[in-house]
Amino acid sequence: MEIRKDVENCIGKHVLLKTNVGKRNAKEKEGIIRDTYPSVFVVTVNQGLQSERSVSFSYSDILTETVQMTLCSTEEKVHIS
């Protein structure tokens, strides 16, 4: 519940997502948290030239550290875990 509340407080904010795809393979993407639901949250990710994609993650992805999310700010970075 704490993770969900933290994510809900970040709706509309710019975040950096680092997803672990395999043992030594991780991908980083920047996006904006668009919405939260009881089991998942949705992030809109910029794919390049005028292309956007919505990606959903579960709160357990953050809990198990499959996804690491950092709030992007000009003054500070806050890590949600």
CATH number for 31: 2.30.30.100
pLDDT tens digits, 22-70: 777 888 888 999 999 999 999 998 776 667 889 999 999 999 888 888 8
78 compared with 35, residue with greater pLDDT: 35
How is residue 57 written in tokens? 């993650």
- Tell me, yes or no, whether 38 lies in a domain: yes
DSSP 19-44: EE-SSS-EEEEEEEEEEE-SSEEEEE
- What confidence score (pLDDT) does residue 36 get? 94
Range of the domain at 53: 2-72
pLDDT higher than 50, residue 75: no
Give CA torsion, residues 9, 75, 46, 61, to 10 deg.
-50
- Tell me, yes or no, whether 64 lies in a domain: yes
- Tell me, yes or no, whether 21 lies in a domain: yes
- Tell me, yes or no, whether 39 lies in a domain: yes
- Tell me, yes or no, whether 16 lies in a domain: yes
Residues 6+ apart with CB under 8 A from 65: 20, 81
- Tell me, yes or no, whether 81 lies in a domain: no
- Tell me, yes or no, whether 78 lies in a domain: no
- What confidence score (pLDDT) does residue 1 get? 84
pTM, two decimals, is: 0.77
